[in-house]
Structure 1
Amino acid sequence: MQIIAEHNAAMARETEGIELDFDTVSRGVGEVLRNPGRGMYLLAEIDGRPVGQAMITFEWSDWRCADFWWLQSVYVRPEARRKGVFSTIFREVEKLAMEQGACGLRLYVFGENRRARSTYEALGMTLSHYVMYERSFDGGKP
């Protein structure tokens, strides 16, 4: 759990310049680990050391009568980038989603994160025609 929370904090800092409250992030990670209905994490390791991750959550589509799988909290440690870590995670998620009858994969990405966007496009993802809106109930905390 600790490494996932550390990765989440590093990702927010690196991609958006945001410092997350580590206790809140740790509780959030723990909630997913204790409650499979909230989602799941996939971790990638090199030589037994965690170097990358993605959290998967589920969105029911009544239009398609199936779940979309959302990739969230995507992070690969800097020293492991451009070594196929995320591609491996993505292909495993894709395989599991298809096996379990999902209708597709979705993710959102910080608009200025061009490196991530090019990675997702190289893996066959396309820019959606949807625009995301948000209304925060916690004072706009990240």
Structure 2
Amino acid sequence: MVARSHAAEVAAYGTVRVSVRPRRGGLAPWQQRRAEDMLRAGVVGGVRLAEVARRCHLSLSQFGRTFKKTTGLTPHRWLVKLRLERAQDLMLWTTLPLAEIALDCGFSEQSHFTRTFTRLVGTSPGEWRRQRRR
């Protein structure tokens, strides 16, 4: 008996239907793009989650649940993660003072930035910057 390749079997027996099912209970791809774009645009100045939810045609509570199901993070955590990634880029590629970086990334003040960064990254922003600039 001769073994057939998958391609040969498809050719011999017809087409294979592949169905891609969206994740149940999560945001539709267009909703995820819209929400992430709006959150990115408001990273510094802020964006109201109620407005993002409205633009995704969801209630605020529905939006929070489905956003977390889709991304693995609440909208607030996702936004904080984005702010910290932006801060890390600025710390690596600029000589801006940490206080300015904090404000540029949407934190209310340097102490808030330092507390959040230390809690989530595991080291202070100043130490993180020194370790990577050697």
Could you say whether these structures have the same fold, taking a TM-score greater than 0.5 normalized by the shorter chain as the test?
no
Q: Structure 2-normalised TM-score?
A: 0.29
Q: Which has the higher helix share?
A: 2
Q: Which has the higher strand share?
A: 1
Q: Structure 1-normalised TM-score?
A: 0.27
Structure with max Cα Rg: 2
